[in-house]
Amino acid sequence: MSRPFLGFGLGLRTEYYQHVIDHKPQVDWFEIISENYMVPGGKPLANLDKIRADYPMVMHGVSMSIGSVDPLNLDYLTKLKQLIARVEPHWISDHLCWTTVNHINSHDLLPLPYNEATIDHIVDRIKQVQDILGRQMLIENLSSYVTYNNSEMPEWQFVNEIAKRADCYILLDINNIFVSANNHHFDPHDYVNGIDSERVMQFHLAGHSYNGDMIIDTHDHDVCDPVWDLYGYALKRFGAVSTMIERDDNIPSFAELRQELTIAETIAAQTLSPKQLDISDNVVLKGVA
Amino acid sequence: MTKLDELQHHFLHYLLGQASDIERHIESTPVLSAAGRLNIYANGYKLRLKEAITTDYEKLHGYLGDEQFDSVMERYIEKYPSHQTNLRYYSVNMPQLLQDETPFNSLPVLAELATIEQAFANSFDAKDVALVTIEDLAALAPEAWATLQFTFQKSVQILSLNYNSFPIWKALAAEETPPDVEQADQSNSWIVWRQADLISHYRPLATEEAAVIELAMQGKTFADICEKLLDFFDEQQTPIKAIGFLQSWIQEEMLAGFDYE
């Protein structure tokens, strides 16, 4: 299918609820962190419902632990499915990582060894998740700080193989490519060039912090110029891809973050034709047979 | 055990500060050793959990100061690895830790402050329910009253405290100097709940109301409530008092339902 395009979005954070509800700022869509709304009721869900009434949404999770050797957490998936029914998102995503083992949650996005055995393990689990949820999902590439010595392939090949065999899509985090390229000494353009275009459904953009020679994915700064350059490069390769900025710390005013999103809009307008940037209507990824 | 199994268990043991040989599975580079690379994850693990605890126990943090609060967090993280998918629920055992562990339990007001903060958090995102109105009760047949039982909405919580922890909490919330700790002559009860405007409320409970609201929340009948009130009031006052409490629970949006035989 041709790639649906939602336009340019932002991560919905509690600091922005009131501004968004009161002013209905021009943003094409919002991405929510799914777990923040896996609560019984109250303000989080009330605000979510109000904002959803006015904006398209996608759901982004941090706790599926798709790469874990623990059994899939069916209680979590049940709650996720309930939230999907409430939000009716255009799509849902989580990370190509593991977070939990022995039922202990690290609350971190921990990296996987890039080899055939891991691919087999994860493909099987994504298929199960897509069956349970009744829809295709997106998997996101990580920022990482270690390489396992039993990794056998570049990360982009690992991501491609999983997306192809599980028949899922890729949420390509441009900042994470930049961070991991620095930390593992590869060319970020090789990563972008290596990713299967037809599997890419969404981009993430974010800021990061330096810790000596390493870069840490902190989401606490503006998007830096080299990441904007890589974003432009990715747009040339993939065409229009729904794009959003994640900000999780050192949160700026909504107006400042919205202003930062105009940089993405400007780069896209300079790179692609207006027709390519037409926003798609009624996008929902297909159910799983 | 598969290789992936082994890697993940060793990685987790490393994060938990336990014996682990994860380092030999990680490549070192001229820029940074395997140990240095892993250390980024160890730092991130603690930082993330401490951030969650700090969000949940802001007043306790203010009361203890940075250094002592950090030692509470260190002990919590050591004792309670997370079994939650949602960080919102990570620190639910904090009152228990402060009650069980020395030196924290030498100052019982700490566990009570944590209990108060947890009650507000629970009230904040408790399940939304339809509320009972005065008209609902007015429509009841007279014979229903004897067996009438009540359901309170999920955000309603009764706290029984032995110290002046609520005045201390209130001072901390107002960023004022908290009063000195005082042990109460008898346990003092407070109620915390959320109204339909999604704002959490609290107030102290008089001894008589505390006695009967606990019975009502346990599912005892209106007749049981009246009988209990006879401990405090004479036969003439009791039904008036019982109705008065019931009206205030309804007006304050605490009641979610009722049932009768």
pLDDT the model gives residue A84:
98
CA dihedral B198, B169, B204, B92 (to 10 degrees): 60
Three-class SS state of B108: coil
CB contact under 8 A, A214 and B83: no
Question: Averaged over A235-264, what is the pLDDT?
Answer: 97
Average pLDDT over chain A reads 96
What gap in Å lies between CA A55 and CA B249, rounded to an integer? 38
Q: What percent of chain B has pLDDT over 70?
A: 99
Q: How far is A265 from chain B (nearest CA, A)?
A: 32
pLDDT grade for A178, boundaries at 50, 70 and 90: very high
Task: Write down the ipTM of this complex.
Answer: 0.94
The more confidently predicted of residues B1 and A66 is A66
Q: Is residue A13's pLDDT more than 50? A: yes
Q: Which of A73, A101, A213 sits opposite B31 (nearest CB)?
A: A213
3 state SS for chain A: CCCCCCCEEEECCHHHHHHHHHHCCCCCEEEEEHHHHCCCCCHHHHHHHHHHHHCCEEEECCCCCCCCCCCCCHHHHHHHHHHHHHHCCCCEEEECCEEEECCEEEEEEECCCCCHHHHHHHHHHHHHHHHHHCCCCEEECCCCCCCECCCCCCHHHHHHHHHHHHCCEEEEEHHHHHHHHHHHCCCHHHHHHHCCHHHEEEEEECCCEEECCEEECCCCCCCCHHHHHHHHHHHHHHCCCEEEECCCCCCCCHHHHHHHHHHHHHHHHHHCCCCCCCCCCCCCCCCCC
The lowest-confidence range among A25-34, A106-115, A214-223, B106-115 is A214-223
Q: Which of B11, B26, B38 sits opposite A149 (nearest CB)?
A: B26
Each residue's pLDDT tens digit, B6-33: 999 999 999 999 999 999 999 999 989 9
Q: Is the dihedral of CA A132, A14, A176, B12 positive or negative?
A: negative
pLDDT the model gives residue A280:
84
Distances (CA, A) of B70 to A112, B66, B242: 32, 6, 47
pLDDT the model gives residue A215:
95
Each residue's pLDDT tens digit, A41-62: 999 999 999 999 999 999 999 9
CB contact under 8 A, A43 and B7: no
CA A236 to chain centre: 20
Question: Averaged over B235-256, what is the pLDDT?
Answer: 96
Each residue's pLDDT tens digit, B190-210: 999 999 999 999 999 999 999
What gap in Å lies between CA A173 and CA B107, rounded to an integer? 48
CB contact under 8 A, A121 and B52: no
Q: Is residue A71's pLDDT more than 50? A: yes
Q: Is residue B2's pLDDT more than 70? A: no
pLDDT grade for A283, boundaries at 50, 70 and 90: confident
Distances (CA, A) of A101 to A77, A106, A108, B13, B35: 17, 8, 12, 10, 21
Q: Which of A105, A107, A147 sits opposite B27 (nearest CB)?
A: A147
pLDDT the model gives residue B185:
85
Q: Is residue A284's pLDDT more than 80? A: no
User: Helix B109-124 to helix B58-79 angle, to the nearest 10 degrees?
Assistant: 100
Question: Averaged over A176-203, what is the pLDDT?
Answer: 97
Q: Is residue A1's pLDDT more than 60? A: no
Question: Averaged over B225-246, what is the pLDDT?
Answer: 96
pLDDT the model gives residue A289:
44
pLDDT the model gives residue B33:
95
Q: How far is B185 from chain A (nearest CA, A)?
A: 36
Nearest CA in chain B to A98: B8
- The label of the residue with tokens 């402050």 reads B113
Q: Position A282: which residue type? A: N
pLDDT the model gives residue B175:
95
Q: Collect all residues from A whose CB is shorter than 8 A from any CB in B.
A: 35-36, 38-46, 63, 68-69, 73, 76, 98, 100-108, 110, 112-113, 117-118, 121, 145-150, 184-185, 211-214, 216
